[in-house]
Amino acid sequence: EGTISRRGKSSFDVEATAVGRYKARVNRVIETEWQRLCVVHRDHLHPGILTLRFYVDGKGRVTGLRYLDVFHASEMQKGFTMQSVRQPRLPAMPADVVKELDGEQLEFRINFNF
């Protein structure tokens, strides 16, 4: 799980394992895209929180993307936050991560704080 913040430092609860390092890489890619889209759409930002859950497969493809919680976020914020997860090319899982997960998808839950 992790939190990506518009201001301040983002935080991710990942372990010092192959899976943890992979999750941190994916979170950084998503955070970079989300921060970029926040700048592009800065006129539409309002304080709020979005929580997304999704899964990433071995090839870095996102599935099952859905909102778990929405607090004071506009439709614009919801749209570009989803886009920040779908749009960037996520890294494929390293072989040791695939082995550790036994071919299963990896679940992510991220809070986006505006």
Beta strands in 57-97 (DSSP E): 62-71
Residue 72 vs residues 18, 69, 111: alpha-carbon distances, Å: 36, 10, 13
Q: Which of 68, 94, 83 is nearest to 1 (CA)?
A: 68
Per-residue pLDDT of the chain (114 residues; tens, 9 = 90+): 677 777 655 555 556 788 989 999 999 999 999 999 999 999 989 999 999 999 999 999 999 999 999 999 999 999 999 999 999 999 999 999 999 999 899 999 999 999
70-98 pLDDT per residue, tens: 999 999 999 999 999 999 999 999 999 99
pTM of the shown model: 0.87
Q: What pLDDT, on a 0 to 100 scale, did the predictor assign at position 44?
A: 87
Name the burial class of residue 63, with classes exposed (0-12), middle (13-18) and buried (19+) by CB atoms within 10 angstroms of its CB: exposed
**Crossing angle of helices 18-40/75-86, nearest 10°?**
140
